[in-house]
């Protein structure tokens, strides 16, 4: 009943992840709409959004949503809000976050970066291939090779992780204090509209009852016998 009518292929799923068919603007509005309608207190939703926002910055590729959910549980935030907030990191924003974090991380370590986004993607791809090859080698006679991962760790992963902490904390705190009053205002507006709708329904029911009672009185008055003539009903 709740399955999709048009079954998407893996290539279609990947293409929709890179660029949704409805566009990023509609996808963003959908996420904001879901955040506003979450059935939880504004503080818990704001804490969940802050947890998800922080997880957009560290290199948690593949486990980003899981990390956001666990962090939301630690800070007693809304888990669904944290998962929805991870959609801020997308193919448009992730390169900017990665380059900023790498530059800041190398500055903190006192090293030189000299990297571009193509080099970062190639490094992550090569590291993933080498990890997968070494995992397969554990069950075969092929030797394991970890020497490339050492260079990847010190040149990419370590500065990326260190450089993402401060921007992640700053974005998380800013998101919390920005989203809290907005979510609270929306909840108050929603509650006021709910009360107004309930009052309108109650007034409508009272009006229907009054109309029904008036109709009953009219029926009773119509069935009553006519009053007697003044002369007692005799004709001259």
Q: How far apart are CA 207 and CA 227, in angstroms?
A: 32
Predicted local distance difference test score (pLDDT) of residue 163: 93
Q: Give yes or no for a contact between 16 and 48, defined as CB atoms under 8 angstroms apart.
A: no
Q: How many degrees, rounded to 5, is the angle at CA 20 between CA 14 and CA 26?
A: 155
Q: Give yes or no for a contact between 94 and 18, defined as CB atoms under 8 angstroms apart.
A: no
When mean pLDDT is compared over 72-86, 114-128, 163-177, the highest value belongs to: 163-177
Q: Does the pLDDT of residue 80 top 80, yes or no? A: yes
Q: How far apart are CA 171 and CA 57, in angstroms?
A: 9
Q: Which residue has the higher pLDDT, 133 or 224?
A: 133
Q: What is the mean pLDDT of residues 11-23?
A: 53
Report how far apart the first and last C-alpha atoms of the chain are (Å, whole number): 83
Q: Give yes or no for a contact between 102 and 160, defined as CB atoms under 8 angstroms apart.
A: yes
The pTM for the full model equals 0.67
pLDDT single digits (tens) 25-77: 555 565 556 665 666 788 898 999 999 999 999 998 888 989 999 999 999 99
Q: Does the pLDDT of residue 5 top 70, yes or no? A: no
Cβ-based neighbours of 128, under 8 Å, separated by 6 or more = none
Number of neighbouring beta carbons within 10 Å of residue 54 = 27
Q: How far apart are CA 113 and CA 11, in angstroms?
A: 34
Q: Mean pLDDT over all residues of the chain?
A: 78
What phi and psi, each to the nearest 5 degrees, are found at residue 232? 80, 15
Q: How far apart are CA 46 and CA 36, in angstroms?
A: 10
CA nearest 164: which of 226, 82, 228, 93? 93
Mark residue 100 as left, alpha or beta (left: phi above 0; alpha: psi -120 to 50; beta: remaining): alpha
Q: How far apart are CA 69 and CA 48, in angstroms?
A: 8
């Amino acid at each position: 009943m709740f399955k999709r009518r048009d079954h998407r292929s893996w290539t279609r799923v990947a293409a929709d992840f890179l660029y949704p068919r409805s566009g990023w603007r509609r996808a963003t509005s959908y996420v904001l709409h879901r955040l506003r309608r979450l059935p939880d207190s504004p503080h818990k939703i704001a804490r969940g959004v802050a947890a998800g926002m922080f997880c957009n910055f560290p290199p948690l590729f593949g486990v980003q949503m899981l990390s956001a959910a666990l962090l939301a549980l630690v800070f007693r935030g809304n888990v669904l809000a944290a998962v929805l907030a991870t959609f801020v990191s997308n193919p448009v924003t992730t390169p900017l976050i990665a380059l900023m974090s790498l530059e800041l991380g190398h500055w903190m370590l006192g090293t030189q970066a000299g990297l571009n986004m193509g080099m970062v993607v190639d490094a992550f791809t090569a590291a993933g291939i080498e990890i997968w090859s070494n995992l397969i080698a554990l069950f075969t006679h092929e030797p394991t090779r970890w020497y490339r991962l050492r260079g990847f760790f010190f040149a990419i992963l370590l500065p990326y992780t260190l450089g993402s902490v401060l921007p992640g904390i700053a974005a998380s705190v800013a998101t919390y204090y920005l989203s809290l009053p907005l979510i609270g205002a929306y909840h108050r507006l929603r509650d006021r509209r709910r009360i107004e709708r309930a009052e309108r329904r109650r007034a409508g029911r009272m009006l229907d009852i009054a109309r029904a009672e008036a109709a009953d009185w009219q029926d009773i008055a119509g069935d009553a016998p006519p009053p007697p003539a003044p002369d007692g009903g005799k004709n001259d």
